[in-house]
A and B are shown apart, each in its own frame.
Chain A
Amino acid sequence: MYRYDEFDARFVNERVAQFRRQVKRRLAGELTEDQFRPLRLMNGLYLQLHAYMLRINVPYGTLSSKQMRKFAYLARNYDKNFGHFTTRQNLQFNWIKLEQVPDILQHLADVEVTGIQSSGNCVRNITADQYAGRAKDELEDPRVYCELLRQYSFLHPEFSYLPRKFKIAVTGSPNDRAAVAVHDIGLRMHKNEQGRVGFEVLVGGGLGRTPYIGQTIRKWLAPEHLLSYVESILRIYNMQGRRDNIHKARIKIIVNQMGIDKYRELVDEDWEFTKNGVLKVPDDEVARINTYFAPPQYESLADQTEMLAKIRSGDRAFDRWVRGNVIEHKVPGYAIVNISLKAPGKVPGDITADKMDAVADLADRHSMGEIRVTHRQNLVLVDVKQSELYELWHKLVALELATPNLGLLTDIICCPGLDFCALANARSIPIAQDISHAFTDLDELQKIGQFTINISGCMNACGHHHVGHIGILGVDKRGEEFFQLTLGGSSDQNASLGDRLGPGLPQADVPAAIRKIVDTYLVIRQPNERFLDTYRRVGIEPFKTAVYGAESQAA
């Protein structure tokens, strides 16, 4: 894992001391809320419906057990015993007291975590494939470049006041698990014709009120030019992006208004002056950062296929969990274990202090002390010996953390919605709970197969509803909550935006609508077709008829 150098540590501690003085001045009445708001947001502190909310960065979704234990400590002592993992691989505490924030930030600084740049019109937490460095299908560990970008963009004076927030995601695998196409910049590692690994650079993706899939601005970028090229993209955005209208301020708007070719031309013009300058990344710097992400010392083990097959044949529940939640590791004898935070009826992404501690203990005992956070709001233990899977599974079952629904219909992405969020128009969590209660049969879930449902409580789309196979958007219609369904969205390497199914439904009708869509799919699907594949083959009509009836077609 990356460790702070002397400069990082000193700076973060100084920032805590600075914020402590700012809070003191605010409480003493020396700062108005208008003066204080930008200062607190710079440290990730929002004011939500019930209290202050602190958003804490988990850079590229990688956590140590020590950091997780600190989260548990903070949840227990400064919050209401739980935290919420978000679609940006971050952690949010919902019940924070302003007067305690400086102490909380000091606790976080002690384990090299901050809320800096988790808010504001700057480069936000850089996200990555949750299996980075461990996935069998990966070309290289993308976190080295995430860290390079993090250091480069941290408090960058030119890019601290962009027209709007800026999100970057990186995948080192051709199978995109980081949703890079719906980020302001998406980076996909791939090999050029000479076999050298570099980046395809996508720009202008994003969700929210005006969703776009990112477009390729450069097919292949040599890694040593990453910083200078990203800087040119940021610089053109900083100059050309709109500041007069918050709804048109993201880079996606300017890219789509001027067209990708024009944007590329402007970037290339700027880049020409900088590409071989100080931002050209020296090999030794990449090598230096790389050492922090060096794989742990693996034992020389053989795959335990036979042993596991024997246990699985005698224990159906374990078999189901292995099939669903355990992913192939690039090192023989090891496995990647996903911990679903989507048990039936639970709040997606929420985890209690006790369970945070328990996961930290399991990471130490079974996974070399490392934990990952996924943008689908789950956790991962990335270095588990196959020989320990059965033991680990028993422990997870006892903790109610072994729900075998990874990638299945109840593995729902869900924003906090109107139950917590000041921006929301409707509650999203109860919808997720209703759906999870309606689909509890694990055999049925497996039969339905790979399926994503993403729920947002407003059009800001923190719940990624546009890219769910089924997306659900909460809207307010004259004081009542309604839910609009979209079908056919995807955030993977073949990303697409969902199509609106029809008029919004009241909360009580949503589970039945999902049921009708699923039933229709099960009837018309062809062998090995996921819901998304069937949808792409047949289009929206059969599903529209199923939900709204044949008469709706004529209307």
Chain B
Amino acid sequence: MPQMIIANRLRDGAIVFLAQNEGWEQAIAAGTLIDSEADATRLMAVAKRHEVECQVIDPQLIEVELKDGQPRPTAIREAIRAFGPTVRTDLTEV
């Protein structure tokens, strides 16, 4: 199952995903999909470096599935982080 790296951005706490260019994006669709252990290790090292550099907090690998070509976290908790509170979908900026 593909993975992505999720974190909270330090300055505002916003949920962000590690993108292909090693930047952080708020839209899950802009995050990079990770398909191999080697990429997971390499990109987590990047994310951890960004944590030390005070860009993000607590980066984590999460499992995602593709639905209509769009990534969606398999765990409810991470899906809520990605798409916002299920009771206030109007608030999500994605």
Contacts and interface: CB of A to CB of B under 8 A. Distances in A.
A507 to B, nearest CB: 11
A533 interface: no
A99 B12 contact: yes
Contacts of A27: 10-11, 54
B2 to A, nearest CB: 17
Contacts of B86: 419, 427, 430
Interface string B1-32: 00000001011111100000000000000000
Interface string B67-94: 0000000111100110011111001000
B53 interface: yes
Given A419-B85, A433-B87, A29 B54 contact: yes
Contacts of A99: 11-12
Interface residues of B, number: 25
Contact of A50 (B13, B51, B76): B13
Contact of A96 (B13, B58, B76): B13
B77 A49 contact: yes
A28 B53 CA distance: 9
A420 B85 CA distance: 6
B87 A50 contact: no
B8 to A, nearest CB: 6
Greatest chain B CB density within 10 A among A29, A32, A49, A481 is at A49
Greatest chain A CB density within 10 A among B15, B51, B85 is at B85
Contacts of B76: 418, 427, 479, 481
Give the interface size bracket for A toward B.
Answer: 20 to 34
B22 to A, nearest CB: 18
Contact of B11 (A49, A97, A430): A97
Given A26-B54, A47-B57, A80 B13 contact: no
Interface string A457-487: 0000000000000000000000101000000
B13 A47 contact: yes
B85 A50 contact: yes
Given A47-B57, A50-B85, A418 B13 contact: no
B10 A50 contact: no
Contact of A479 (B8, B53, B75): B75
Contacts of A97: 11-13
A433 B87 CA distance: 9
A310 to B, nearest CB: 42
A33 interface: yes
Contacts of A550: none
15 contacts: A27-B11, A27-B54, A33-B51, A33-B57, A47-B13, A49-B80, A50-B13, A51-B13, A95-B91, A347-B88, A418-B76, A419-B86, A427-B80, A430-B86, A430-B87
Given A27-B11, A50-B15, A98-B13, 8 more contacts: A29-B54, A47-B8, A47-B13, A80-B91, A97-B12, A418-B76, A418-B77, A427-B76
Interface of B: 8, 10-15, 51-54, 57-58, 74-77, 80-81, 84-88, 91
A-B pairs, 9 with minimum CB distance: A51-B13, A419-B85, A97-B12, A52-B13, A29-B54, A429-B87, A99-B11, A49-B81, A419-B87
Interface of A: 26-29, 32-33, 47-52, 80, 95-99, 347, 418-420, 427, 429-430, 433, 479, 481
